[in-house]
Amino acid sequence: MGTTSSFLKLRSKKTPKVGEWNINYAAALQQAKAENKFIVTLWTNGDCCGYCVTAEKCMMTDTFKNWMKSVDAYFVVQCGTDKDKGKTTHDWIYKGTGLRYYPGFRVTLYNSKGVALFDQAIEGNKLRKNKVNDAGAREMINGFNEMFAKKTVKRSLKSKKSKQDYKIRLNEKLTVAKVNKILDAIDKCDGYCPCQPRYEGSKCHCEDFLENKGIGEPCICNIYVKQKKGK
């Protein structure tokens, strides 16, 4: 049994969960978009590629596994030995991104409308900085954490704040205790939405709420609602 065989056993075919490897790209992508979470996709050529094997060994360490459990992101891996040769993620990671070598990673964050707010593709060899085992795992973790922590991201939406035809109020359906709990969470996040990864547009009131939510629709934290002016 090669390294890849052991690595692929880590992935689940069930409903994708954050912090776990999964094989189902379509399902993980759908959930990541709906929940405004990062999705990390990986394509590996397995035991046919020395760089792939080295990266897999890094990701099989307890250091990397424990880190995965601690982050709020979806992880998908497909392989050249899959029945469809992992074509879905291979095309996603390699077409149009400029990557040439295996394994390939692509890290993406979407808003609730499916617009990419952050998108970066990187080769596994660069991500682990040529280090192996725990040392390589730590370099990969540092690289992912830097991407997750990006505060300046690609913004494809124009601000409509100057044309507001609504006002923002607290969600009257929430109890005072619930409102205070959410406000405390926002304070602990330095004013960023606690329900999304930190980026430039996730300061409360977040970009997703201002740009994508209609009258009567709550923000992702369910604390603020848009209301027509004059009411």
> Sign of dihedral through CA atoms 77, 83, 88, 92?
positive
Strands of the 21-22 sheet, one edge to the other: 21-22, 73-79, 38-44, 104-110, 116-123
Query: Which of 72-81, 137-146, 202-211 has the weakest average pLDDT?
Result: 202-211
Question: Do 105 and 52 meet the contact criterion of CB atoms below 8 Å apart?
Answer: no
**pLDDT over 80 (residue 161):** no
Side-chain-side CA neighbours of residue 156 (13 Å): 11
- 133-139 mean pLDDT: 97
The more confident residue out of 56 and 36 is 56
37 neighbors 109 (Cβ within 8 angstroms) = yes
**Do residues 202 and 109 lie in contact, with contact meaning Cβ atoms separated by under 8 Å?**
no
Predicted confidence at residue 1, as pLDDT, reads 54
The better pLDDT of the pair 131, 169 is held by 131
- pLDDT at 60 (0 to 100): 97
Bridge partners (DSSP) listed for residue 42: 77, 105
CATH entry, 3-148, from 2.30.40.10, 3.40.30.10, 3.40.50.1360, 3.40.50.1970: 3.40.30.10
Cα dihedral 135, 140, 145, 150 sign:
positive
Domain ranges of the chain: 3-148, 161-228
Looking at residue 164, its pLDDT comes to 64
Mean pLDDT (the chain, rounded): 88
| Backbone φ, ψ for residue 73 (5° rounding) | -145, 155
